[in-house]
Amino acid sequence: MKRIIITAAITMVMAVMCRAEAKIMLNSNIVKEGGVVKAVLYSNKPFSGSEVKFMGEKYPVFFRSYDKAAKEFTFLVLVPVPLETVGVKKLHIRYMMNGREYEHTEKIKVKKISAGRSDIQTDGKRAALGVNFGPENKIIKKRQEKRTSLKFDLPFIKPAEGEITSAFGKKRTYDGGSYGSTHKGVDIANKMGTKVAAANHGKVVEAATMKGHGVTVIIDHGGGLYSLYFHLKGVYVKKGVDVKKGDIIATMGSTGVSTGPHLHWQMNLFGVPVSPMDFLTMM
Ligand SMILES: [Zn+2]
């Protein structure tokens, strides 16, 4: 009996030590449009040639940590689900380990969100400035092209205190329908000068004044994840500096095309706007 137990124990230890495939833990197989698919990969050997495919796009796999005691590598996969996506999609994870190729497929069910719609009165300001958003968005996109190693710790924090006045994914028209768009971040409204903190650790890749987005800060959190802060008043950080989660980076303002003091907080994953609020509960 004792021998059987010992044999069983050794077999279990061997199974864990020689686990051929990586263990893949998915946050959930059900995600809302504009959400994030999160997978954590555990293995006793480093990977090579890892790749994730989702909706025709390829995404990298990022090294997260190595547990010396458990001799275990942890990798993180974050994949954006664009807005206006619904239905069942396949997530393919491929990696090389010990010279062998492994592929793992998960079905992801994408549900619709209903963030509402509204018309915003800007007295023609939005339409007049519309032409300026193109070059601004080009600069903003360029700042988010780098794929740096992971710097963030989950979860993220809400960068400012205040009321959410406009949800992510809200359909908007301006001045009675002269211009339409979908809200790509969340608006947090509070008094002028309210402190704005870095939502997580990272590097400031932009701190500039723009005509449409107003005073803007962009932070690179690594792993293709960036946080954007628009319509600020004062900025306390410069391009190139490292920030910690909770560091005060700016104050709330109403610069650019804005109808009152608020922070537009946006999270972009590989350039795709995803729901910022989801990062507050992501572990
Ligand atoms: Zn906004």
Q: What spacing in Å lies between the alpha carbon of 191 and ligand 1's midpoint?
A: 16
Q: Which of 17-21, 97-101, 249-253 has the least mean pLDDT? A: 17-21
Neighbours of ion ligand 1 (CB under 5 A): 185, 187, 264
SS in 3 state form for the chain? CHHHHHHHHHHHHHHHHCCCCCEEEECCCEEECCCEEEEEEEECCCCEEEEEEECCEEECCEEEEEECCCCEEEEEEEEECCCCCCEEEEEEEEEEECCEEEEEEEEEEEECCCCCEEEECCCCHHHHHHHHHHHHHHHHHHHCCCCCCCCCCCCCCCCCCCEEEECCCCEEEECCCCEEEECCCEEEECCCCCEEECCCCEEEEEEEEECCCEEEEEEEEECCEEEEEEEEEEECCCCCCEECCCCEEEEEECCCCCCCCEEEEEEEECCEEECHHHHHCCC
Q: Report pLDDT for 217.
A: 98
pLDDT of residue 13: 45
pLDDT at 177 over 90: no
Q: How far is the CA of 230 from the centre of ligand 1 (A)?
A: 8
- Ligand 1 mean position, distance from CA 212 (Å): 11
**CA of residue 182 to ligand 1 center, whole Å:** 10
Q: Ligand 1 centre from 205 Cα, in Å?
A: 20
For the chain, what are the domain ranges? 17-111, 117-280
Domain 17-111 belongs in CATH node 2.60.40.10: yes
Q: Does residue 115 surpass a pLDDT of 80?
A: no
Spelled out in words, what is the top-level CATH class assigned to the domain 117-280? mainly beta
Ligand 1 centroid distance, CA of 265 (Å): 7
| Ligand 1 centroid distance, CA of 114 (Å) | 17
